[in-house]
Structure 1
Amino acid sequence: MYIHAVSHYLPSQVVGNEHFTNLNGLSSEWIIERTGIAERRKAGPGENTNTMTIEVVQRLSEKADLTNVDLIVGGTYTPYDTIVSLAHEAQHYLGIADIPVISISTACSSLLNAIEVVEGYFALNKATRALVIVSEHNTLYYNETDTISGHLWGDGAAALLITKERQSDGDFAIKALTTGGAAHTPKATTGVMMKPADGGVTMPHGRDVFINACLYMPKASLQVIEQCGLTLTDIDYILPHQANLRISRNVMKTLGLPEEKLISNIQRYGNTGCAGCAIALSEQWDTFQKGQRIVITVFGGGYSFGAMLVEV
């Protein structure tokens, strides 16, 4: 499989840490020390998961031909419409008839699980050109007065065109992909939750989330590296789920890699859920050099996790 093109969208409204200082007394220094976040983006009036989907699909269509897409997979845990999913919205916008349209949610791991769905369709010869969209509207569901997690969240979206065969020399080859779930662990189902009818986003066991994210992201990263017959010295960059800068740094420390190899955008955008890694990949796309290898690794609520190794 190959990533042929990628695009991203971020709302224009910037919410700095001073907003939370005024709201609940959390200082900017305190937030940065514990999370790395200085500011985040917030969807404006009329914006939602589906409208951000249209934005990224429009931007992707400027980079690649989407007229012959034969599979659409969307990922989100913050839907605008639980019936007409963001994937349906994308199909409607593109006007492509009679293709599989799927929406999934494995929390912040949805990006890699969506790509894994594509992998399955490709293996069964049911598709050859897939559109993957990840879009999160966290600020629709969060409680910004919550001093535990209210300051973490941001909104954004990204889209990727994934093809079964190489389309150009600039494609990123997906060399290995693995996903898993650790919901068997004691606090996995209560570590971080989002119940629209019962308080929105809550994180009653943030410490446990931190510990398990620091455990499973390096573990999954090593799995895909070993599957490719490579070692850590062969990896140019690590792109972890953008949940907390301390988690990302801990992942690098566990892997024994310098921070120069870490790709991070949480400082500017906050936790953008399953869209975070794809947004960062889109931002950095033109800076990567031929032959470079990037490991994308994720961890989400319910303790879903995964990693993917791509090569330019």
Structure 2
Amino acid sequence: MIGSKILASGHYVPKDIVTNDDLAKVVDTSDEWIVAHTGIESRHVSLQGENTSDLATKAAEQALERAGVAADEIGFIIVTTFTPDGLAPSTAALVQRNLGASQAWGYDLSTACAGFVFGLSTADKFMRTGDYQYGLVISAEVNSKMMDFKDRTSTVFFGDGAGAVLLGKAERDFIQAEEMHTRGDAEVVHSGRIAPLTKLSADNYPKIDAFAQVGRSVYNEVTTLIPGHIQSILEKEGLTVDDVDYFVLHQANLRMIEKVAEILGQPMTKFVTNVQHYGNSSSAGIAMAFDQLNQKNDLTGKKVLLTGFGAGFTYGSLLLSL
């Protein structure tokens, strides 16, 4: 059997830290309200001109360095993002150039905040063909550039960052099980919508909308669907939540993660979180949290469940047997 394994991981956040008190100076909110409702105390924000491809490149460089693999040995690069540098070229193409990964092809994958789970699943399929020695999966977001800073229901949540994993060939596969879902919903969460023309005019120019979400609907959707989804994927493997060593959920909101843990009857010590100081970093949150877990622990023989959920409504899980 041809399989793949995670050789190394890395993550990067911009150096500028924006606290809740900083946000309160530009939007009608307070540190007390944000912490009470979200658990977020601060977030990293790209204020030095770094775009999504820049963050992605730095996370990838860290993973490559840790693995001792040269960029020109990579076979492919998948970047998951819904805040790309632009619609074309792909962010992955820019990362390929930045890294000097001359032998790699690349493309972007967009499933919003579930991106890392879907990207890792996709990359694993390519690795299992046996055609590639190494593949990169990078989740990167500059959410700040898509925010309406008059909208406190969205702005207070989000931060910027990137996480990466390098996959290599293995005799067995590191993904034990997966389950993916999409339920089309264009209104609960949306970002960057481009309206079609209604007339031909010299004044026509592309315009996109800012990120927007219906926070209560998102919370209800996640806390209703995700615990059952997690139990479903485990039951198919003859496992229970007690068999999982670590849960890495989308870092949407600490209170949301706490609620899922409560419903599952699992201690928060098994849930990896970075949302307190990174904010909701969309698809990058799980990737960065996995790297933080990977750097602090020997994951050999451990079962790690990655669960992403986001706009679409798209959600899915990967059960990793490391």
Quick one: distance in 2 between partners of 1:150 and 1:179?
28
Which residue of structure 2 aligns with residue 308 of structure 1? 318
Contact 1:298 1:305 in 2 (8 A): yes
The answer to whether 1:178 aligns with 2:179 is yes
Alignment of 1:115-154 (within 5 A): 115-154=120-159
Q: How many residues align?
A: 303
Shift of 1:98: 4.8
Which residue of structure 2 aligns with residue 255 of structure 1? 264
3-state secondary structure, aligned to 1:200: coil
Shift of 1:138: 0.3
Q: 1:79 aligns with which of 84, 100, 104?
A: 84
Contact 1:50 1:85 in 2 (8 A): no
Q: 2:282 aligns with which of 239, 257, 273?
A: 273
Cα deviations by residue, 1:28-68 (Å, 9 ceiling, x for unpaired): 11111111111001012220101112211221221111442
* TM-score normalised per structure 1: 0.91
Quick one: distance in 2 between partners of 1:221 and 1:2?
22
Cα deviations by residue, 1:125-168 (Å, 9 ceiling, x for unpaired): 4434210011100001101221211111100001111123169x
AA matched with 1:285: N
Which residue of structure 2 aligns with residue 33 of structure 1? 36
- Structure 1 residue ranges without an equivalent (≥5): none
Contact 2:61 2:99 in 1 (8 A): no
AA matched with 1:175: Q
Quick one: distance in 1 between partners of 2:295 and 2:23?
35
The answer to whether 1:236 aligns with 2:245 is yes
Contact 1:157 1:279 in 2 (8 A): yes
Q: Percent identity?
A: 29
The answer to whether 1:291 aligns with 2:291 is no
Quick one: distance in 2 between partners of 1:3 and 1:71?
15
Quick one: distance in 2 between partners of 1:262 and 1:287?
14
3-state secondary structure, aligned to 1:109: helix
Cα deviations by residue, 1:90-113 (Å, 9 ceiling, x for unpaired): 222333345431211011111111
The answer to whether 1:15 aligns with 2:18 is yes
Cα deviations by residue, 1:218-253 (Å, 9 ceiling, x for unpaired): 233223323433222211221110001111011111
Cα deviations by residue, 1:18-37 (Å, 9 ceiling, x for unpaired): 02222233121111111111
Contact 1:138 1:154 in 2 (8 A): yes
The answer to whether 1:45 aligns with 2:55 is no
Alignment of 1:149-168 (within 5 A): 149-165=154-170
Contact 2:57 2:99 in 1 (8 A): no
3-state secondary structure, aligned to 1:119: helix
3-state secondary structure, aligned to 1:24: coil
Is the alpha carbon distance of 1:120 and 1:23 closer, same or farther for their aligned partners in structure 2, counting shifts above 3 Å?
A: same
Quick one: distance in 2 between partners of 1:94 and 1:42?
23
AA matched with 1:137: V
Question: What's the Cα RMSD here?
Answer: 1.9
Q: Which is higher, the Rg of structure 1 or of structure 2?
A: 2
Contact 1:217 1:240 in 2 (8 A): no
Contact 2:157 2:280 in 1 (8 A): yes
Contact 2:249 2:272 in 1 (8 A): yes
AA matched with 1:59: Q
